[in-house]
Structure 1
Amino acid sequence: MFAGCSTKVGYYFLDWAIEWKLEEYVTLNVEQQQQFEVALDEFLVWHRTQELPRYQAQLSQLLAEFNNQSFTLQSWNDHVVSAKSHWSRVFDFVEPSIVPIISSFSDEQVEQIIAQLRAEEKELNEKYLGKDQAALVKMADERIEKRIQKWMGKLTPTQIAAIHDYNTARSGTLDMWLEYRHDWIRLFSQALKNRRNQVALSHSLSLLMTQPETVKSKAYKAVLENNSKNFGELLINIEKLASSKQKQRFNEKLNTLITELTEISQED
């Protein structure tokens, strides 16, 4: 969430980043823009003072588990649940402000959003469909290696092999993932087209944004649960294989992040 050279710098520009991202999907009129800016200001104050301390606490717990070598599969599951709860609270806070704005969208604005979502879906299909299993595994290897190296530095051959073994053994989800995304866009589009009913809109958005499992098939959910368990085991293995240099880097980077989150949350 806080990628970049400095969490503090990134957070100070969060309002700009959110508005810039929004503009990729829809162009607001003057009244909607004013409503959005008020909602965004309120959200940033709430998020800084109420949510950042929660992130800091969770990361501190993760750091302690890492240093005490007490990071377990249960720890991983608990962190996943906590991460989902962070997002649910964010949506619950912004929902009363964004529903009236979305409800006021014109047909042209709705079509703009749907067109962007479909364009992104097309890009994903072009990126992944048609690739054989070996190519998909290679992409997954590179993606995970990059993320872990950000925190631990250069990986050892044994760690790289562990990542490859995980991606080779894990159940494929590409087709189910793309089908889920297609269904999600379809249901989101329906919610936008029925946006004048704010009660129904709020209900639909809540399900789609905070309970995406309602859109996923039973088979997809079962595979995701198993893959998540295996990924947790991979992280435990990577931790056990970590060198003293990697552990030091992880400690330094995570401590820096925790300190910055604490400082941001305490600023007036």
Structure 2
Amino acid sequence: MQRIIKNGIVVIFSAFLLSACSFSFIYNHLDWWSNWYLDDYVTLSQDQQQRFDTAFNELHTWHRQTQLSEYTRQLITLKTQVNRGITLEEVNAQLVNLKQHWLVVREQAKPALISLVHSLSSRQRKQVVDEIASNNEARIDDYDEISQEQWFSETCIERQDQFKKWLGKLTKGQKVEVCQLAKSLTPTFNHRMYYLIKWHSGLKQVLAMGLDKQQYEVMFTELISEPESLKSEQHKTLSKNNSDTSVKIFQVMMNSLTDKQLNRLNNKLDDLIKDLKELAIDT
């Protein structure tokens, strides 16, 4: 259920994983996307659906009014930093801000999510638990065990492709640099699956209890607001290392841009900033 209100895990500069030309379309149709995603987990009654739609529309309006301007300011700052040469400290600060944006949205959505979960019938709760379990099993079944060398090779290509979306063709030196730095990354699939299964177990336990709304709020606070507590220490350490490496890759790439790449990046950032300004609602 946590993923219902989350558009994926925060990664280093999620703007580099977006297509600026489609951002407005996606954002304006988040209600449709959220319902499509929710339908994969549970079938709501008409009354529940109406309550969900109302809560989502309120969240969406709040987001337009308060959050898009924050994203705009961050992108403007990022553009300035990249054009004069961005430091590791500045990239880290940008990443902290990205994570904070998600935390703000998560906490804003939490009361409505708890209310929705509390309203679910026993059959619906079982549907949610079974669907999450099925998704976890599918991830494990679809996972191909590959050698460390193959993993690094695929990761190298993935990182290069992420930058190509915004910078265009990379130089040979940039390609080599990305791959060299990517060697410090570590696969965490098994750790992530352990965490997801543990989170699912906690959710299953909560949903099986006959708790009142206040008790649900207490129980879900740990599951929704404190998911890190469910991760192993090794997982946390590896994630920190991967985050630090991603920051380094981003910083090195931004300081190695050709004039053509920098011009392309500036144009794309300007387009995204324009989209955000047009989507925002003045309060």
Q: Quick check: TM above 0.5?
A: yes
CA RMSD of aligned residues (A): 2.0
What does 1:92-103 align with in structure 2 at a 5 Å threshold? 92-103=107-118
User: Aligned letter for 2:228?
Assistant: E
Aligned counterparts of 1:156 and 1:171: Cα–Cα separation in 2: 25
Aligned counterparts of 2:59 and 2:31: Cα–Cα separation in 1: 10
Aligned counterparts of 1:197 and 1:77: Cα–Cα separation in 2: 41
Structure 2 residue 157 is matched with structure 1 residue 157: no
Return the match for 2:135 from 109, 120, 138.
120
Unaligned runs of 5+ in 2: 1-13
Q: Alpha-carbon deviations, 1:91-118, whole Å to 9, x = none?
A: 2222222212210111221222222222
Structure 2 residue 39 is matched with structure 1 residue 30: no
Residue number in structure 2 paired with 1:55:
71
1:195–1:267 Cα change, 3 Å: farther
Q: Alpha-carbon deviations, 1:132-188, whole Å to 9, x = none?
A: 212322332232222211111122222222222233232332322221222122222
- Cα pair 1:195 1:201 within 8 Å, conserved: no
Aligned counterparts of 1:74 and 1:266: Cα–Cα separation in 2: 32
Residue number in structure 1 paired with 2:216:
201
Return the match for 1:40 from 56, 72, 80.
56
- Cα pair 1:188 1:208 within 8 Å, conserved: yes
Partner SS, residue 130 of structure 1: coil
- Cα pair 1:152 1:247 within 8 Å, conserved: yes
- Cα pair 2:64 2:279 within 8 Å, conserved: yes
Aligned counterparts of 2:162 and 2:215: Cα–Cα separation in 1: 39
Residue number in structure 1 paired with 2:157:
142
Structure 2 residue 206 is matched with structure 1 residue 191: yes
Q: CA deviation at 1:211?
A: 2.7
Return the match for 2:270 from 247, 255, 262.
255
Structure 2 residue 177 is matched with structure 1 residue 175: no
User: Aligned letter for 2:277?
Assistant: T
- Cα pair 2:178 2:249 within 8 Å, conserved: yes
- Cα pair 2:199 2:230 within 8 Å, conserved: yes
What does 1:64-103 align with in structure 2 at a 5 Å threshold? 64-69=80-85, 71-103=86-118
Aligned counterparts of 1:190 and 1:87: Cα–Cα separation in 2: 26
Q: Bigger CA drift: 142-151 or 16-25?
A: 142-151
1:68–1:194 Cα change, 3 Å: farther
1:17–1:184 Cα change, 3 Å: same
Q: Alpha-carbon deviations, 1:189-246, whole Å to 9, x = none?
A: 2233337332333233333333321111122212211221121111111112211111
The two structures have a TM-score, normalised by structure 2, of: 0.87
Aligned counterparts of 1:27 and 1:118: Cα–Cα separation in 2: 17
Specify which structure has the bigger relative contact order, considering alpha-carbon pairs within 8 angstroms and separated by 6 or more residues: 2
Residue number in structure 1 paired with 2:280:
265
- Cα pair 2:166 2:265 within 8 Å, conserved: yes
- Cα pair 2:59 2:109 within 8 Å, conserved: yes
Aligned residues: 267
Aligned counterparts of 1:156 and 1:15: Cα–Cα separation in 2: 40
Aligned counterparts of 1:168 and 1:65: Cα–Cα separation in 2: 27
The two structures have a TM-score, normalised by structure 1, of: 0.91
